């Protein structure tokens, strides 16, 4: 909602999840039970677990798309969510969300050009094409895009050029990098890639700013 106000959150040292429980409404029992963890700024954290164990659900809570039933979320000394205190200003959690770039397990493409799909948040006039190209390069996608007759203007999505699963994933990574957020959250973002391409992307992501915090399933 564009009218919601967003508080600026200054993420300096760490964020904490404390004793989180989460239950999907349609489920009988909790999907997540008593999750506590602390992630320091600049840390690169991996989340590992069997299929259906709740990894994507945990990420949805971290990026504040889902609200825990119990527990507390704290950024440095600021509590942005507390299940026992519903009066906490919602603008804080929106501020937290604005710090995060997220690559979901399945990427949504709009019926638009590649450059619009990478920039995503901007309207056409505001697209920083240099930034688009850098991010495509970091996501190992620039070679492919440049080989297309219409390059960054190629239309993709349902009615456009059909991209492979791995190309879509790399576009999703480029889109997240374009936002230049201090926190990057990846949900099996390289699962459709061959080992060499995956390794190249992981190296280029790891070489980004040391302050960048990365959470990966
Ligand atoms: P995968 O490795 O297959 O991606 P995951 O660890 O990411 O699995 P989640 O997607 O978090 O698992 O799902 C955890 C559990 O919650 C599963 O049992 C799943 O069926 C259930 N679940 C996920 N989304 C919903 C939903 N929207 N409504 C109800 N149950 C859900
Ligand atoms: Mg998942």
Distance 24 CA to ligand 2 centre (A): 15
**Taking the model in full, what pTM does it have?**
0.90
pLDDT at 160 over 90: no
Distance 30 CA to ligand 1 centre (A): 11
Check residue 41 and give its pLDDT.
96
Question: 191 CB under 6 A from ligand 1?
Answer: no
Share of the chain above pLDDT 90, in %: 75
Share of the chain above pLDDT 70, in %: 98
What are 104-126's pLDDT values in tens digits?
A: 988 999 999 999 999 987 677 88
User: For 94-110, what is the mean pLDDT?
Assistant: 92
Question: 51 CB under 6 A from ligand 1?
Answer: yes
Determine the length of the chain: 217
Residues with CB under 5 A from ligand 2 (ion): 56, 105
Q: Contact 173/132 with Cβ under 8 angstroms?
A: no
- Which ligand lies nearest the alpha carbon of 35? 1
């Amino acid at each position: 909602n564009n009218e919601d106000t967003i508080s600026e959150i200054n993420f300096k040292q760490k964020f904490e999840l404390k004793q989180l429980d989460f239950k999907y409404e349609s489920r009988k029992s909790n999907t997540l039970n008593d999750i506590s963890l602390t992630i320091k700024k600049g840390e690169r954290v991996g989340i590992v677990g069997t299929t259906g164990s709740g990894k994507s659900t945990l990420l949805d809570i971290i990026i504040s798309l889902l609200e825990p039933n119990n527990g507390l979320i704290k950024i440095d000394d600021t509590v942005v969510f507390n299940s026992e205190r519903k009066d906490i200003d919602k603008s804080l959690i929106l501020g937290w969300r604005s710090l995060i770039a997220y690559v979901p397990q399945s990427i949504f493409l709009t019926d638009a050009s590649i450059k619009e799909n990478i920039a995503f948040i901007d309207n056409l006039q505001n697209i920083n094409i240099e930034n688009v190209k850098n991010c495509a390069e970091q996501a190992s996608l620039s070679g492919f895009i440049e080989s297309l007759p219409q390059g960054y203007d190629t239309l993709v999505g349902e009615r456009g050029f059909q991209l492979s699963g791995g190309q879509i994933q790399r576009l999703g990574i480029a889109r997240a990098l374009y936002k230049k957020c201090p926190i990057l959250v990846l949900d099996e973002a390289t699962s459709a890639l061959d080992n060499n391409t995956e390794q190249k992307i992981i190296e280029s992501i790891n070489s980004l700013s040391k302050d960048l915090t990365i959470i990966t399933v």
